[in-house]
Amino acid sequence: MKLFQFVGIVVCVLPQVTDADESTRPSLSVAALRSWTIVVSDEAAECQKYAAEEFQCFFQTATNVKLPIKQTATKRTGNLFIGPSNALKTSPLGHVMKRKYDEEELRIVVAKDNIAILGGPRGTLYGVYEFLEDYLGVRFLTAEVTHVPKVESKHAIPHVDRSYKPPFAYRFYLKTEVMKDPVFAARRRQNAASRHGPKEQQLTERLGGQATGGVFLHNNFLLHASFNDHPEYFALRHGKRTSQQPCLTHPEVRRLVTNQILSNLKGFRKGSMIPLAQNDNGNPCLCPNCSAVQREGDAAGTVQILDEASGGAEVNFLNGPPSAVIVDFVNHVADAVAKERPDLWVGTEAYAYSVMPPRKTRVRSNVKVQVATYHCSIVHSLDDPRSKVNKQFLKYLAGWRKACDHLLIWHYDMNPRDYWLPFPNMRAQPSSLRTFVKSNGRGIFMQGAPHNTEFSDLRAYVMTALIWDPSQDADKLINEFLSLYYGRAAKPIRQWIDLFHEQAIASGSESNINATARSYGLDAKLGERGVKLFEQALQLADNETIRHRVEKVSVTGWRLALDPVWWNAIEAPRRARILKTTVEKERVEIAASNLPRYRKMATKLFEIADRHKLGGPRQTVSSYLQLPQEPQKDTKK
């Protein structure tokens, strides 16, 4: 595996500090470091030794100076210590070794004659990346593109003593652009990967290893039983059994699941999570026993929560929050696990019909609850008073905070309905992430869209930065990425991002992640403005590489400009099925005179999609417009 790839390494010279307060601050010049030595203990963790190599590599690229790496310090000054060591302990900076550091905590000390970057094993690695970014201007833009500016000898590195501990102990952005290269994932401070992903995507010990006790997905509460053989083990709804969810109060279901877990405890690493989660549907069991547990001790007919309920059919909430049944079941299993392996966690989801917290039942101390934001408005942040939907979710989150000491967050950064459509959530994300931190959210799983969709590269950069440090300014991060990745073409792309966000906010949309363009207040007229902005961006592109990047994200403009066609080809048939009406009734009117123009636009869009290997509903849209089903071969050389 390559350590790094650079495209357009030297693109600028790092500016000198001009702030009046900074001008008198003690500092080191890069020239003073030319004869220094990187010191890392021979007993250091693999990722700390790797941190020293990363520092050496990028420092050399930025300054043309290769600092040697040694295991001991030969002198008391001129040392750049990476990680804790005896050499650091006996140096003038030895005071930094007087306390222990959490696994991901970092500390950077720049003094007159020595520098120390240390912390926990992963914290040391992340500390190196913080140093490279904050003091040398390195930017890890994508897995293929790292921006390393030319650093002059007189460039000043200020004297500091700073520490940082990330608020989210578990960070996993489910995005191919990040996951495909674990080296890049580590540089973006990701500390987890999919347990079911390929080996080459796992974070090895050299990259810091993977955090435990984190996210999980749907798994039907680990019930391995046949519905045909034992329908009584499954949900009773409207007088009939359904295999969609188990009956969590059935004694045999509890015995089977608990025994299965206890028999496999040896297979779990220390600190691991045992997931017990619902399936991805809205049909919990409504049998008399489950209904009684759901009431949490109250008499039948006395629980009144329907006005507060969201995320499922009203029948699910007639007896109280369905989450009470789930927590009761998970607590039962967690008690048994705690007797055998007190080091393990048991986890469950608060998702869809279970997102409302129980009224009285409290979660066991060895249980984590993963709260999903599926039904929240994506246009507004969670604490935005303009959103009634998010205001209700905040109440749920506050309830879970009271019921559970260990919360995880399942957050979203994609529209599963339409991966090419502009997704107007970037402005809302920072405040929402800060809300999670305030609500005792200690781990985050952010679900992103598939590879090469919408603004994939930009999102991978911005969202991983915010997950690492939610206090950062999203606009600053967006501008930074656009400027470094698109050059002069960045300005019209930024205008496009602002346009579709502003129109969505002005619309008052309360739609969740799974919605149409019109649900977000977006329309074809706006899309055509986007197409023109991308035409400007293409003209401003400095080279073919930049043009290629601009063209890939231009699908967002073309897609929105074609929204009437998308609606008639895809949404109208879907609505007709759901509403039991006709496709013709659900379609919007498109003048026959506009069809040639739409055919030309769709052809252009699909040509772009082919060049950039973007998936999409080609067949359905092409059929509606009566276009050829197969892509046309490009005869241009």
Considering only residues 14 and 406, tell me which one the structure prediction assigns the higher pLDDT: 406
For 191, the token pair is 């500390």
Residue linked to tokens 């997704």: 423
Sequential DSSP letters for 494-552: HHHHHHHHHHHHHHT----SS--TGGGT--HHHHHHHHHHHHHHHHH-SSHHHHHHHHH
- Rounded Cα distance between 11 and 484, Å, is 9
- Predicted local confidence at residue 307, as pLDDT: 84
The per-residue pLDDT for range 280-322, each reduced to its tens digit, is 999 999 999 999 999 999 999 999 998 888 888 999 999 999 9
Asked whether the CA dihedral 200, 201, 204, 210 is positive or negative, the reply is: negative
- Predicted local confidence at residue 558, as pLDDT: 98
- Rounded Cα distance between 35 and 614, Å, is 49
- Predicted local confidence at residue 630, as pLDDT: 63
- Predicted local confidence at residue 327, as pLDDT: 98
**% the chain with pLDDT above 90:** 89
- Predicted local confidence at residue 43, as pLDDT: 95
Which residues, in sequence order, are CB contacts of 580 under 8 Å at separation 6+?
Answer: none
- Predicted local confidence at residue 92, as pLDDT: 97
DSSP annotation of 205 reads: G
Residue linked to tokens 């650079």: 6
- CA nearest neighbour of 388 among 310, 495, 458, 334: 310
- CA nearest neighbour of 268 among 321, 217, 209, 195: 195
Domain(s) labelled CATH 3.30.379.10 in the chain stretch across 20-165
Contact indicator for 517, 523 with CB cutoff of 8 Å: yes
Q: What is the mean predicted confidence (pLDDT) over 475-504?
A: 98
- Rounded Cα distance between 242 and 232, Å, is 9
Least confident of 206-215, 426-435, 479-488: 206-215
Contact indicator for 195, 66 with CB cutoff of 8 Å: no
Q: Which helix (H) or strand (E) holds 595?
A: helix 595-611
Strand partners, 516: none
Q: Is the pLDDT of residue 5 over 60?
A: no
The per-residue pLDDT for range 104-153, each reduced to its tens digit, is 999 999 999 999 999 999 999 999 999 999 999 999 999 999 999 999 99
pLDDT bracket for residue 229 (50, 70, 90): very high
For 462, the token pair is 């911005």
The per-residue pLDDT for range 410-424, each reduced to its tens digit, is 999 999 999 999 999
The CA-based angle 433-327-362, given to 5 degrees, is 80
- Rounded Cα distance between 310 and 321, Å, is 10
Q: Is 469 helix (H, G, I), strand (E, B) or coil?
A: coil
Q: Name which CATH class applies to 20-165.
A: alpha beta
Residue linked to tokens 């495909």: 180
The per-residue pLDDT for range 520-543, each reduced to its tens digit, is 999 999 999 999 999 999 999 999
Which residues, in sequence order, are CB contacts of 375 under 8 Å at separation 6+?
Answer: 310, 311, 352, 355, 389, 393, 512
For 434, the token pair is 């800060």
Contact indicator for 73, 87 with CB cutoff of 8 Å: yes
- Predicted local confidence at residue 197, as pLDDT: 78
Q: What is the 3-state secondary structure (H, E, C) of 426-444?
A: CCCHHHHHHHHHHCCEEEE
Q: Is the pLDDT of residue 4 over 50?
A: no
pTM value surpassing 0.85: yes
For 68, the token pair is 């040697």
Count of beta carbons in the 10 Å neighbourhood of residue 65:
17
- Predicted local confidence at residue 631, as pLDDT: 53
Strand partners, 157: 28
Contact indicator for 202, 193 with CB cutoff of 8 Å: yes
Q: Cβ-count burial of 547 within 10 angstroms (0-12 exposed, 13-18 middle, 19+ buried)? A: middle
Q: What is the 3-state secondary structure (H, E, C) of 226-293?
A: CCCCCHHHEEEECCEEEEEEECCCCHHHHHHHHHHHHCCHHHCCCCCEEECCCCCCCCCCCCHHHHHH
The mean pLDDT of the chain is 93
Considering only residues 436 and 617, tell me which one the structure prediction assigns the higher pLDDT: 436
Which residues, in sequence order, are CB contacts of 567 under 8 Å at separation 6+?
Answer: 516, 517, 518, 587, 588
- Rounded Cα distance between 519 and 330, Å, is 37
Instruction: State the number of CA atoms in the 13 A half-sphere of 569 facing the CB.
Output: 20
For 536, the token pair is 């400007």
* 22 φ/ψ angles, rounded to the nearest 5 degrees: -80, -25
pLDDT bracket for residue 23 (50, 70, 90): low
- Predicted local confidence at residue 308, as pLDDT: 86
Q: Is the pLDDT of residue 53 over 70?
A: yes
Q: Is the pLDDT of residue 32 over 50?
A: yes
Instruction: State the number of CA atoms in the 13 A half-sphere of 417 facing the CB.
Output: 19
pLDDT bracket for residue 213 (50, 70, 90): confident
The per-residue pLDDT for range 556-586, each reduced to its tens digit, is 999 999 999 999 999 999 999 999 999 999 9
Q: Is the pLDDT of residue 600 over 90?
A: yes
- Rounded Cα distance between 122 and 120, Å, is 6
- Predicted local confidence at residue 214, as pLDDT: 85
Count of beta carbons in the 10 Å neighbourhood of residue 370:
26
Q: Which helix (H) or strand (E) holds 608?
A: helix 595-611
Q: What is the mean predicted confidence (pLDDT) over 202-220?
A: 89
Q: Is the pLDDT of residue 635 over 80?
A: no
Q: Is the pLDDT of residue 273 over 80?
A: yes
Q: Is the pLDDT of residue 156 over 90?
A: yes
Q: Starting from the edge strand earliest in sequence, which strands make up the sheet with 106-110, in order?
A: 69-70, 37-39, 79-82, 114-119, 106-110, 160-164
- CA nearest neighbour of 427 among 355, 517, 372, 506: 506
Q: Is the pLDDT of residue 183 over 60?
A: yes
- Predicted local confidence at residue 491, as pLDDT: 98
- CA nearest neighbour of 29 among 132, 135, 155: 155
Contact indicator for 64, 78 with CB cutoff of 8 Å: no
Sequential DSSP letters for 153-173: TT-EEE-EEEEE--S-SEEEE
Strand partners, 411: 446
